[in-house]
Structure 1
Amino acid sequence: MEIERKWMVNGWPEGDLPLLFEQNMRQGYITTAPTVRIREEAEVNGKTEYILCFKSSGTLARKEIEIAISREKFEELEDLIGLPLIPKVRRTYQLSDGHHLEVNHVDEGLPSEFWYAEVEFLTEDEARSWNPDEASLSDYLNNEVTNQPGQSMGAYWLVTRKAKPM
């Protein structure tokens, strides 16, 4: 189960948040209803993983199944998709309460480029009660879009890649 809240942000967070790692990613969608996605995750100065992901519908909470696949299988699926994958840079920061703040810069340099941040939780109650003020992030995380329609990466894919739902 994936339980997360999402905010639109402007740039990387300022301050002294400890950076845990940075990844360069590329992702694309085989279908968006239900979500079936492939993603390449290349950790800076680390390993590269290739993932096939299935997600149920939902906003705050949804089922997520991730399966590691080979680079060759990833490339086959990328060819099957036949559209440019979405590049993004993700930086993961450690918060003082133990949570991780994941900040993503999507489609850098394109007119549609944007930034968003997510925090994942163990339960829906924990997610609902978490307050950005307690992590000194109220100024940065001030535009929450968790429950707003059209704020998923799958929706962005459909708009920017002119993909038709399958």
Structure 2
Amino acid sequence: MEIERKWMVSGWPEGLPLTEEFTMRQGYISVRPTVRIREEAKTGGETAWILCFKSEGGLAREEIERPIDAGLFRDLEEKIIARPLIEKVRRSYRLPDGFTLEVNHVDAGQPGAFWYAEIEYPTVEAARSWVPADPALAAYLAREVTGQPGQSMGAYWERTRK
């Protein structure tokens, strides 16, 4: 089960410790339900290839992820009609309360480029009750879009890859 909140943001946050960074490419085999492939290259680390299923939902939804090998990723990538794959840079930041803020820059340099942030939670109650303690972080996360139609990466895929 994935329980997360999502915000539209501008740029990388300031004053938070960076814990890791990935460059990613992802594409969609299906959007309803979401079936996605992703290549994740950790800065200074290894590359992983992942097949992911996500159910419909907003704050909480089923998510199944399985590692796949590079060959299967390439085979599936070739079957995806819409191109190019979405490119993302994701940076993770440790928050003072122990949660991790993941900030993504999507399709940098492209006309539809944008930024979004997510926090995953252990329970729905924790997600609903969480508020940023720092005023600067609260201002950074002022535009929440959790569960709003059209705000998923699958919806972005449909709008930009025809």
Aligned-residue identity in percent: 65
Contact 1:97 1:135 in 2 (8 A): no
Tell me the equivalent position of 2:117.
Answer: 117
Q: CA deviation at 1:132?
A: 1.9
RMSD: 1.0
Instruction: Indicate the SS of the match to 1:127.
Output: helix
Match of 1:145 in 2: 145
- The TM-score with structure 2 as length reference comes to 0.97
- What amino acid sits opposite 1:117 in the alignment? A
- CA shift at 1:14, angstroms? 1.2
Task: State the match for 1:107 in structure 2.
Answer: 107
AA in 2 matched with 1:151: Q
What's the TM-score, normalizing by structure 1? 0.95
In structure 2, the partner of 1:133 is 133
Aligned to 1:56: 55
Aligned residue in 1 for 2:95:
95
**SS of residue matched to 1:91:** strand
Q: Measure, in 2, the Cα distance between the counterparts of 1:6 and 1:132.
A: 13
Gaps of 5+ in 2: none
Give the C-alpha shift of residue 136 in structure 1. 5.0
How many equivalent pairs are there? 161
Aligned 8 A contact 1:96 1:135 in 2:
no
Note if 1:45 corresponds to 2:66. Answer: no
Offset, 1:147: 2.0
Task: Could you tell me which runs of 5 or more consecutive residues in structure 1 were left unpaired when the two chains were aligned.
Answer: none
Q: Indicate yes or no: 2:3 matched with 1:28.
A: no
